[in-house]
Amino acid sequence: MSNSDVELVHSPDVFEGSFEIGKLGMWIFLAGETMVFGGLMVCYTLLMISRGGWGADGAHVAWRLGGLNTLVLFTSSLTAALAQGAARARDAAGVRRYLGATALLGLFFLVIKAFEYSSDFGEGFTPGTSLFWSFYYVMTGLHVLHLLAGVVVIFGLRWLIGPHTTDAWLERKLKYVCLYWYFVEMVWIFLFALVYLIPNVG
């Protein structure tokens, strides 16, 4: 170790060095979350392969509603990205508008999901019906909980924006929230393929 090492590392006043701790923490959190959803999806997929597909069980899943929800969630990610763009343009009103749209689209997703669950239940497909439906309810249910948390956080952030908040603060917080929101959408893309599309094809 030479003396020059001291200069290589940041100055005493800067704690975070070249890292942004909030972003780093969020990425680490999402890595753990990936393993939760990943574990479920791997179990589901292995069991599906070992049984040669889900057969008649999977044919009743409401793929049209699922497809609609995919579009809703895609749009919400677009508005989230627009909110980030507005934050970069220092347009607080725009941020508030797009964040509101994102959260409302999230709520819309949840409403559609509620209709879907109730129609599934109406047709007699409950969590105890079969292994496929057990996985369906646990995986989509866990996703719904994550989405709900996201909606609450987005509304919370939108509510916090005010005259005392700085643009830099807003841009940073928005980045962490959006990172989470995109993750929840990514999970849905996998779920849509695994739970809605593949069982209908096979």
Partner 1 sequence: MAETRSEPAPAEAHEQMGFWQQYIFSVDHKIIARQYLFLGLFMGYVGVFLSYVFRWQLAWPGTAAPLWGKVTPSQYYELVTMHGTIMVFFVAMPVLLGAFGNFLIPLMIGARDMAFPRLNMASFWTIFVGTVLLLISFFVPGGASRAGWTQYVPLSDSTLYLPGNYWGGNLWLLAVAIDFASVLMGGINFLTTAIAMRAPGMTVWRMPLLVWMELVASVLFMLSVGPLIAGVVMLLFDRIVGTGFFLPQRGADPLLWQHLFWFFGHPEVYVVAVPGLGIVMEILPVFSRKPIFGYRAIVWSALVAGTLSFIVWAHHMFVSGMNPNLAAPFSATTIAISVPFAVMLFALIATLWRAQITFATPMLFALGALANFLLGGVTGIPLGTDASDIYLHDSYFVIAHFHNTLVPTAVIGGFGGIYYWFPKMFGRMMNETLGKLHFIFTWVGFNLIFIPLFLIGLGGGQRRIYQASVYTYYKPLQPLHVIATIGLLILIIGQLPFIVNFLVSMFRGQQAEANPWHANTLEWMTDSPPPHENFHTIPVVTRGPYDYSVPGMERDWAPQNEELMAAAARN
Give the footprint of partner 1 on this chain (CB under 8 A). Answer: 1, 3, 5-6, 8-17, 19-22, 24-25, 28-29, 31-40, 42-43, 47, 50-51, 127-128, 130-131, 134-135, 137-138, 142, 172
Residue 74 or 123 with smaller CB distance to partner 1: 123
Residue 50 or 201 with smaller CB distance to partner 1: 50
Min separation Cβ 7 and partner 1, Å: 9
Residue 24 or 111 with smaller CB distance to partner 1: 24
Min separation Cβ 82 and partner 1, Å: 25
Residue 24 or 189 with smaller CB distance to partner 1: 24
Min separation Cβ 79 and partner 1, Å: 25
Min separation Cβ 21 and partner 1, Å: 5
Residue 16 or 123 with smaller CB distance to partner 1: 16
Min separation Cβ 14 and partner 1, Å: 7
SS (H, E, C) the chain: CCCCHHHHCCCCCCCCCCCCHHHHHHHHHHHHHHHHHHHHHHHHHHHHHHCCCCHHHHHHCCHHHHHHHHHHHHHHHHHHHHHHHHHHCCCHHHHHHHHHHHHHHHHHHHHHHHHHHHHHHHCCCCCCCCHHHHHHHHHHHHHHHHHHHHHHHHHHHHHHCCCCCCHHHHHHHHHHHHHHHHHHHHHHHHHHHHHHHHHHHC
Tell me how far apart the 2 most distant CA atoms of the chain are, in Å: 73
